[in-house]
């Protein structure tokens, strides 16, 4: 079925139809399309544009179609006719079969241009809500692990440039990801606010001569407002670009976390053992426990970023208003939504059951000879040595230790005093790993008391109401 066929003297070629049909992917908009049509029919009746009785007949037919489609899907049956070019055409075809010619009144004062923009906004609004819930589950897993390892004060090397830098609590490390995902939640909510504008009533591009009430349909569909400019309403895909940008940013954070889990689960690190449920084996090497799920999350981040770049490239230079190019937005949006929600789900499950190896982490800390070097420089600075001089002297101490194959902890007090008479016996206590961590008691630091505060704040943030 086509909604425009009478304009032409011949049918589209089968090749052209198959090339341009969007039903294979926009079928997932069926619920949103029906919901929008119910609201539109209700408005047509209330505004006297079509008889109220016919509006009610259309609404009843649409609700029955919704039931029929859901029943078929529950039975693993395909409820859609592949000869319909898109989901909008398919729903109208079904409605015509069910209630006859009255179905033709539904499209009064409406175009597929504002219809598809509406469907996509409704879909993305729901997608944002789903992503928000998935992020919460992941954040809860991070908090649970952080709390558990705060009790034992699990310490590991902190890294810069992939090199040992300073010792930190594992809890502090995990909470760094909590705040990344918190910003992702903020971005999802912020993005949702701009998605949450009804385009219904813009028609093809110029509005309509019918006495419609866009505010009525907006309220019915739980939008806080309707569009301001009909041309902008049907051409705007900023909201889709923004959604993909949010998704790509979140996937980047997931990729970092997944990459660390892959690295940490290797024999060279041994910092974490991933549960069997989140690993796979080898077809040839019987001993293998491969972190495939984490690796896939890492890989899929590039996929979502690609969708973002693709959509921005698609929109660049498009003249107003609707162009068929915009059909290409949906697969990018749908796949990014699927990929992000799937990645959030598996990462939450993986973290809930991850066994972080505190003993192996502590061994790595103790085997690192210069993790406390910053503390040595600070020690001198607190004794009125300008920090740059303290830094320079500490660097010389490190170089001397390297030449003698010693760690800072191996130095005797006599050796310390050869570098500076300011060193006293308390330098040895300062170099103890736990003391180094506890010394970082500045706000937001890795000291246990600060991490305790951070966990409390994280829990409060999780419980705070959100707008979007």
Every domain of the chain and the residues it spans: 13-105, 112-213+224-364, 366-463
- Whether 11 shows a pLDDT value over 60: the answer reads yes
Q: DSSP letters of 342-406?
A: HHHHHHHHHHHT-EE-HHHHHHHHHH-TTTTHHHHHHHHHTTT--HHHHHHHHHHHHHHHHHHT-
83 Cβ partners below 8 Å, 6+ apart? Answer: 1
Confidence of residue 439 (pLDDT cuts 50, 70, 90): very high
Q: What is the pLDDT of residue 467?
A: 64
290, β-bridge pairs = 280
Q: What is the pLDDT of residue 286?
A: 87
Q: What is the pLDDT of residue 156?
A: 98
Residue 50 structure tokens: 């079509």
What distance in Å separates the CA atoms of residue 295 and residue 390, rounded to the nearest whole number?
A: 43
Minimum mean pLDDT range among 51-60, 282-291, 416-425: 282-291
- Whether 232 shows a pLDDT value over 60: the answer reads yes
66, β-bridge pairs = none
Q: What is the pLDDT of residue 207?
A: 98
Q: What is the pLDDT of residues 61-99, one digit of tens each?
A: 999 999 999 999 999 999 999 999 999 999 999 999 999
What distance in Å separates the CA atoms of residue 16 and residue 358, rounded to the nearest whole number?
A: 61
Q: DSSP letters of 191-235?
A: HHHHH--B-TT-TTTT--SS---HHHHHHHTT-S-B-S-HHHHHH
Q: What is the pLDDT of residue 10?
A: 57
Compute the average pLDDT of residues 298-320. Answer: 97
173 Cβ partners below 8 Å, 6+ apart? Answer: 156, 158
Compute the average pLDDT of residues 295-317. Answer: 98
User: Which overall architecture, per CATH, does domain 13-105 show?
Assistant: Orthogonal Bundle (1.10)
Q: What is the pLDDT of residue 15?
A: 82
What distance in Å separates the CA atoms of residue 243 and residue 308, rounded to the nearest whole number?
A: 9
Q: What is the pLDDT of residue 465?
A: 78
Q: How far is CA 23 from CA 119, 131, 189, 255, 329, in A?
A: 14, 25, 30, 32, 14
Average pLDDT, the chain: 96
Q: What is the pLDDT of residues 234-266, one digit of tens each?
A: 999 999 999 999 999 999 999 999 999 999 999
Compute the average pLDDT of residues 112-131. Answer: 98
Confidence of residue 4 (pLDDT cuts 50, 70, 90): very low
Minimum mean pLDDT range among 26-30, 146-150, 323-327: 323-327
User: Which overall architecture, per CATH, does domain 366-463 show?
Assistant: Orthogonal Bundle (1.10)
Q: Would you please indicate which residues are annotated as catalytic (active-site) residues?
A: 161, 282
Confidence of residue 9 (pLDDT cuts 50, 70, 90): low
Compute the average pLDDT of residues 309-314. Answer: 98
Compute the average pLDDT of residues 33-58. Answer: 99
pTM of the model: 0.93
Compute the average pLDDT of residues 427-442. Answer: 94
Reduced to 3 states (helix: H, G, I; strand: E, B; else coil), residue 162 is coil
- Whether 12 shows a pLDDT value over 80: the answer reads no
353 half-sphere exposure, CB direction, 13 A CA radius? 11
CATH topology of domain 112-213+224-364: Fumarase C; Chain A, domain 2 (1.20.200)
What distance in Å separates the CA atoms of residue 169 and residue 434, rounded to the nearest whole number?
A: 10
Reduced to 3 states (helix: H, G, I; strand: E, B; else coil), residue 158 is strand
Q: What is the pLDDT of residue 14?
A: 75
Compute the average pLDDT of residues 435-444. Answer: 96
Q: What is the pLDDT of residue 252?
A: 99
- Whether 466 shows a pLDDT value over 80: the answer reads no
């Amino acid at each position: 079925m086509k909604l425009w066929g009478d304009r032409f003297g011949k049918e589209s070629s089968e090749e052209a139809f198959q090339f341009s049909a969007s039903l294979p992917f926009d079928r997932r908009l069926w619920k949103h399309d029906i919901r929008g049509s119910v609201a539109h029919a209700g408005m047509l009746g209330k505004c006297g544009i079509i008889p109220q009785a016919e509006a009610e007949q259309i609404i009843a037919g649409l609700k029955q179609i919704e039931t029929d489609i859901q029943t078929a899907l529950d039975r693993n049956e395909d409820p859609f006719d592949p000869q319909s070019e898109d989901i909008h055409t398919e729903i109208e075809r079904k409605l015509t079969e069910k209630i006859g010619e009255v179905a033709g009144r539904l499209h009064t004062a409406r175009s597929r241009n504002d219809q598809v923009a509406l469907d996509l906004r409704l879909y993305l609004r729901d997608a944002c809500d789903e992503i928000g819930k998935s992020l919460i589950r992941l954040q809860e897993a991070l908090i649970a692990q952080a709390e558990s390892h705060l009790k034992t004060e699990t310490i590991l090397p902190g890294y810069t440039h992939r090199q040992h830098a300073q010792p930190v609590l594992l809890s502090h490390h995990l909470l760094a990801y909590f705040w990344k995902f918190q910003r992702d939640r903020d971005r999802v909510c912020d993005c949702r606010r701009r998605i949450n504008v009804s385009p219904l009533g813009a028609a093809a591009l110029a509005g309509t001569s019918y006495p419609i009430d866009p505010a009525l349909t907006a309220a019915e569909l739980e939008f806080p407002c309707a569009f301001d400019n009909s041309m902008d309403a049907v051409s705007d895909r900023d909201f889709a670009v923004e959604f993909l940008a949010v998704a790509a940013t979140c996937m980047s954070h997931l990729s970092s976390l997944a990459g660390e889990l892959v690295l940490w689960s290797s024999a060279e690190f041994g910092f974490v053992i991933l549960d069997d449920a989140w690993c796979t084996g080898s077809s040839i090497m019987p001993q293998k426990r491969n972190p495939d799920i984490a690796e896939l999350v890492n890989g899929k981040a590039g996929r979502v970023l690609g969708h973002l770049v693709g959509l921005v490239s698609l929109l660049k230079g498009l003249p107003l208003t609707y162009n068929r190019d915009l059909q290409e937005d949906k697969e990018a949006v749908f796949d990014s939504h699927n990929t992000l929600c799937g990645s959030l789900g598996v990462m939450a499950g993986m973290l809930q059951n991850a066994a972080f190896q505190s003993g192996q982490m502590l061994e790595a800390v103790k085997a690192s000879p210069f993790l406390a070097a910053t503390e040595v420089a600070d020690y001198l600075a607190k004794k009125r040595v300008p920090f740059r001089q303290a830094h320079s002297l500490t660097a010389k101490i490190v170089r001397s230790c390297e030449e003698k194959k010693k760690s800072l902890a191996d130095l005797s007090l006599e050796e310390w005093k050869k570098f500076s008479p300011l060193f006293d016996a308390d330098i040895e206590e300062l170099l103890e790993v736990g003391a180094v961590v506890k010394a970082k008691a500045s706000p937001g630091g890795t000291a246990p008391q600060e991490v305790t505060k951070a966990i409390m704040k994280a829990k409060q943030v999780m419980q705070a109401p959100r707008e979007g």
